[in-house]
Amino acid sequence: MSLSPLLRKVFLVDLLKGLSVTFNNQSEKERITEQYPLERPVVFERYRGQPRLNVNPDTGESLCIVCNLCALACPEQLIVVKGERNPVTKRKEVVSWTYDLSRCMFCGLCEEACSTDALELTQDYEMALYSRDGMVLDQAALEHGQEPVRYAK
């Protein structure tokens, strides 16, 4: 064996290099742990999270026109929309609107299919519940959005 590799082997250079890497990574600026739930991660705009039925901010009525495109687009067929035609405004209005969160895979196809920006997948991600009963969301729950339990005594 030539001299340089032999010296490196005898003086354990490779092991010392590894040791220096781990030693240098101890400094505080390298740590990236987020201490949830004190520090909640920030998600970005396009995040596909909790679904929400949007409401017209001025009039307060739902933007959904019961076109049923979202229900047709969903791979799991977990959206059920029932509407009836309002004879006065000659437009369809929502009677019942359910979304089964337990089977949703957050693929976003319903959000893409919606023609009026009524259905939106928001940036909320704290959707854990203790039982499956609360997982089928109705219109009120969908419009209200979500209130995660804050970390408190």
Partner 1 sequence: MSDSTKLDYLDLDVKDKTFLDTTEMVLNMGPQHPSTHGVLRVILKLDGEKVLGTECIIGYLHRGVEKIGENRTYTMFNPYTDRMDYVAAVSNGLGYCETVEKLLNVEAPARAQYIRVILTELCRISSHQVWLGTHALDIGALTPLFYAFRDREEILKIFEKYCGARLTTHAFRIGGCIYETYEGFEEDVKKFCTFFLPKLDEYEELLTTNRIWVTRTKNVGILKPEDCIALGVTGPVLRASGVKWDLRRAQPYECYKDLDFEIPTGVNGDTYDRYLVRVAEMRQSVRILQQAVDSIPAGPIMAKVPKVIKPPVGEVYHSIEAPKGELGYFIVSDGSTQPYRVRVRPPSFVNLQALDVMVRGMLVADVVAVIGTLDIVLGEVDR
Partner 2 sequence: MLDAIKSYLNSGMTPGEYGSQFWATIYIVAITLGVSLSVIAMNWLERKILAHMQIRLGPMRVGPHGLMQPFADALKLLIKEDIIPANADKLVFWTAPVVVTMTAFTTFLVVPFGRTHAVTDMNIGVLFMLGISSLGVLGIIMAGWSSNSHYPLMGSLRSSAQMVSYEIAMGLAIVCAVLMTSLQTGTGTLSMIGIVEAQNAQGYWFIFKFFPLGFIAFMVFAIAMIAETNRAPFDLPEAESELVAGFHTEYSGFRWSLFFLAEYSAMLAVSSIAVTLWLGGWLRPFANTLSGPTWDLAFSLIPGLSFLVMAAGTLLGTIRMPKIVQMRAQAIGLGVFGVLLALVGLVMLLPGVRERVQDIFWFVAKVACFMYLYIWYRGTFPRYRFDQLMKVGWKVLLPMGLGVLILTAVVGLRQELLAAIVGGAR
Min CB(85)–partner 2 separation in Å:
53
Q: Which of residues 49-108 bind partner 1 (CB under 8 A)?
A: 73-75, 105-108
- Tell me: does residue 48 bind partner 1 (CB under 8 A): yes
- Choose the one of partner 1, partner 2, none that binds residue 90, judging by a C-beta under 5 to 8 angstroms depending on kind: none
Residue 3 tokens read as: 């001299």
Q: Which of 6, 7, 11, 18 binds partner 1 (CB under 8 A)?
A: 18
- Tell me: does residue 1 bind partner 2 (CB under 8 A): no
- Choose the one of partner 1, partner 2, none that binds residue 38, judging by a C-beta under 5 to 8 angstroms depending on kind: partner 2
Q: Which of residues 28-47 bind partner 2 (CB under 8 A)?
A: 30-33, 35, 38
Is residue 118 packed enough to be buried (19+ CB in 10 Å), middle (13-18) or exposed (0-12)?
A: buried
The C-alpha atoms of residue 52 and residue 145 are separated, in whole angstroms, by: 6
